[in-house]
Structure 1
Amino acid sequence: MLADPLSPEQSRSDSAVFRPDAPPVEWAVAEGYVDYEPAVAAMEARVAAIAAGEAPELIWLLEHPPLYTAGVSSKDDDLLDAGRFPVHRTGRGGQFTYHGPGQRVAYVMLDLNRRGRDVRALVRGLEDWIIGALGEFGVEAGVRDARVGVWVERKGAGWSREDKIAAIGVKVRRWVTFHGISLNVEPDLDHFGGIVPCGISEHGVTSLVDLGVTATMDEADAALKASFQRVFGPVAPGRSPV
């Protein structure tokens, strides 16, 4: 079944990762497109600094140029068109996914030493964060057993299907998280055709614009920020690592 979006009150009381008394999480937005390898290098440097107590937690919002990434569970057969876009092998969880213009990537660098060393609670928090952000636009979304990410149900006269609107793939090092989520705002959905997204071939992908929601990236960012604060706690302006 679809999971109901959390209200602000439910998020604060029920989220295992909500920490109102912790220092605010830095919130940074990169300008332009950020290449993948420099982004990973910047994340790894920030994770090390957070683990050493030398930097605050960070949510880093960006867009990548068109590319595919392969998580630790990826299968070579799920790369359908290897020559279409650059392919990056990465240490995050999950399988193949696409990143590109019109998709908001949020790299999540949170200290689970402060928020509880519970990766399942973290993933549930990430799901609730996305679901709450989509709720800001009136989009009902939820999670599915045995399927990673956030999904919407679409119906018409005599038909229905489920499409994925957001992906989740994280890694934890010294109990600090990195990689994160991607939300489809207005990407070219044809670009997903070069892979089997997350190893799931029987369902499709969608975006806010594909659902008829004409949201800008700034509006998507505002919804993500509002929902993040309900689920994880306060934020403060930060600087993009790249």
Structure 2
Amino acid sequence: MVQNREIAVKQLGLIDYQEALAIQEACYKTIVDRKCGHATAQQPNQAPPAGYLLFCEHPPVYTLGRSGSIDHLLVDTTTLETQSIALYHVNRGGDITYHGPGQLVVYPIIDLEFFCTDIHRYLRLLEASVVETLAYFGILSMCCAGLTGVWLPADKTTKQPDRKICAIGIRVSRWVTMHGLALNITNDLTPFEQIIPCGLHKKVTSMKQELNRHIALMSVSDILGKNILNKLYSV
């Protein structure tokens, strides 16, 4: 099998969650078919792609991971219908979270066999990429031992508790990743009050709330994409 570490970056814009999931699954199938020798007759010798980075935003939606509890949704489905917020049960790890406009969602569909066959190292790579990106915009963030995602430390001066700014939930099969991370940039944080985010009784924040100014989503996307690729290519 020819090694190909090239990763294609795709900007999907504001896209329905199910439509984005279908794109993820198509990318996943392309990688798995080629690495398992199921390429089409027209492409029998094509090197399997290392993967894709899909960047997007979603209309309001809650997603519940396979290890999550529906009890962490604090409102009923009738309320969700009234608010036009969708709910999907998905096959990623993690609990319940919210996606909405102004939040940057990144789906890396990556063949880890070209980089590192270590899921924990991959998760730490994603977290470190977000921490580095936030630092570029002047926000100090951190990873917490035993917890997946990126957090802002408590501030005794402002009496702010530690709070989550980026959720991460993935699935890995045949060493190919799916799902990914959601970084709060300018999105409305109110919908988080209707769930126990990621099953944790922790505050949620955004870049806009921390900096008290508007941040262009594409500017964050550009920096975060470069950081993820740099870290992948350095392993």
State if a TM-score over 0.5 links the two structures.
Answer: yes
* Structure 1 runs, 4 residues or longer, greater than 3 Å off: none
Please name the residue that 1:51 is paired with: 32
Give the counterpart letter for 1:65 in structure 2. Answer: P
2:164 touches 2:203 (CA, 8 Å); kept in 1? Answer: yes
What residue ranges of structure 1 are gaps of 5+ in the alignment? 1-20, 235-242
Give the counterpart letter for 2:138 in structure 1. Answer: G
1:105 touches 1:183 (CA, 8 Å); kept in 2? Answer: yes
**Deviation per residue, 1:125-150 (Å, 9 max, x gap):** 11111111111112111111222210
Does the C-alpha gap of structure 1 residues 46 and 155 become closer, same or farther in structure 2, counting only changes over 3 Å?
A: same
3-state SS, counterpart of residue 179 of structure 1: strand
Please name the residue that 1:77 is paired with: 71
Alignment of 1:62-73 (within 5 A): 62-73=56-67
Please name the residue that 1:27 is paired with: 9
Please name the residue that 2:210 is paired with: 211
1:166 touches 1:183 (CA, 8 Å); kept in 2? Answer: yes
Give the percent of matched residue pairs that are identical in Structure 1 and Structure 2.
32
What residue ranges of structure 2 are gaps of 5+ in the alignment? 35-47
Q: Distance in 2 between matches of 1:226 and 1:39?
A: 21
- 1:117: Cα distance to partner? 1.5
Does the C-alpha gap of structure 1 residues 124 and 77 become closer, same or farther in structure 2, counting only changes over 3 Å?
A: same
TM-score after normalising by structure 2: 0.85
Please name the residue that 2:181 is paired with: 181
1:110 touches 1:176 (CA, 8 Å); kept in 2? Answer: yes
Aligned-pair Cα RMSD in Å: 1.7
More strand as a share of residues: 1
Residues matched between the structures, number: 212
More helix as a share of residues: 2
TM-score after normalising by structure 1: 0.82
3-state SS, counterpart of residue 143 of structure 1: coil
1:170 touches 1:179 (CA, 8 Å); kept in 2? Answer: yes
Q: Which has the larger radius of gyration?
A: 2
Q: Is 2:108 the partner of 1:104? A: no
3-state SS, counterpart of residue 139 of structure 2: coil
- 1:173: Cα distance to partner? 1.5
Which protein, 1 or 2, shows the higher relative CO under an 8 Å CA cutoff with sep ≥ 6? Answer: 1
Q: Distance in 1 between matches of 2:91 and 2:165?
A: 22
